[in-house]
């Protein structure tokens, strides 16, 4: 799990998730299927390429400009955590587009939301902001469901930290990185602390404009951000464990 590979996987996933929602919104707005497909595909590919150019530049610098050793370009068999994570992202997307919009109120929706208010302080802040903006449409329930998936994933992934740390050590031996293990753990740790304050605690949610809760940005915030947060925490802990001795 080199930093370049981690950044590449995360950026591609964000682009695919955003592209899927953009395509859905285009169809819901009455757009033609054969016009929406190329428009969304081109935009998604441009955004993906923009991020991968940065990631590949970092990877090339870390491998002394030897493209044959660039981790981003090497096919990697997905591990158990990757499969679980991708499955949860798909479940979150399906909940956003199928179940949540049609179950804004109800026993199951209220139970999820009330439970997450207790576990995730930022969820109450999100609900308050959506109420202030006068929009919901199942967004609170979608966010609650995604947070539940994120908590389950975090618990499952943390139980395999030693295995992940061993893979990171092996990857570091085969493909030297620009940053040393301690620096990578520090970078991921700082990002995790910022994510805790912004997403889990909800310290800055009230600063988000109402327009950011609708469309693709709102879908990313409620349907993907909690899962990306959980994966970031897992990656930071694995990198920190790998920076120490094997014993």
Burial annotation 201-220 (CB, 10 A radius, 16+ → b, else e): ebeebeebeeeebeebebbb
Residue 109's domain spans which residues? 3-243
pLDDT tens digit at each of 247 positions of the chain: 556 677 778 888 899 999 999 988 888 888 787 888 888 888 888 888 877 776 665 554 554 444 444 444 455 566 788 889 999 999 999 999 999 888 777 777 888 888 888 889 999 999 899 989 888 778 999 999 999 999 999 988 888 888 877 877 777 776 666 667 777 778 888 888 899 998 899 888 888 899 889 889 999 999 999 999 999 998 888 888 887 655 5
Which pLDDT does position 90 carry in this prediction?
Answer: 95
Number of folded domains in the chain?
1
CB contact at 8 A, 204 and 211 = no
Question: Tokens standing for 103?
Answer: 């179950």
Return d(Cα 221, Cα 214) in angstroms, integer: 10
DSSP 3-state of 18: helix
Structure tokens at 198: 């912004």
pLDDT of residue 58: 52
Dihedral, CA atoms, 21, 22, 27, 33, nearest 10 degrees?
-110
Q: Decide: 20 and 220 in contact? Cβ < 8 Å.
A: no
Classify residue 154 by its DSSP letter: H
């Amino acid at each position: 799990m080199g930093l370049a590979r981690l950044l590449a996987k995360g950026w591609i996933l964000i682009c695919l998730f955003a592209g899927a929602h953009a395509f859905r919104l285009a169809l819901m707005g009455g757009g033609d299927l054969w016009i929406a497909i190329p428009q969304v595909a081109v935009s998604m590919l441009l955004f993906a390429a923009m991020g991968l150019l940065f990631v590949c530049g970092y990877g090339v610098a870390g491998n002394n400009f030897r493209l044959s050793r660039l981790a981003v370009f090497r096919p990697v068999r997905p591990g158990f955590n990757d499969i679980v994570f991708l499955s949860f992202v798909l479940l979150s997307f399906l909940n956003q587009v199928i179940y949540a919009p049609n179950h804004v109120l109800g026993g199951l929706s209220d139970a999820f939301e009330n439970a997450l208010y207790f576990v995730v302080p930022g969820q109450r802040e999100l609900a308050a902001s959506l109420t202030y903006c006068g929009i919901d449409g199942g967004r609170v329930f979608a966010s609650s469901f995604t947070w539940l998936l994120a908590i389950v994933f975090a618990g499952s992934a943390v139980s395999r930290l030693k295995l992940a740390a061993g893979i990171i050590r092996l990857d570091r031996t085969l493909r030297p990185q620009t940053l040393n293990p301690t620096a990578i753990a520090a970078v991921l740790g700082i990002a995790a602390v910022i994510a805790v304050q912004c997403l889990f605690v909800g310290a800055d949610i009230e600063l988000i404009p109402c327009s950011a809760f609708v469309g693709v940005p709102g879908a990313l915030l409620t349907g993907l951000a909690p899962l990306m947060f959980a994966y970031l925490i897992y990656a930071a802990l694995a990198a920190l464990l790998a920076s120490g001795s094997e014993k």
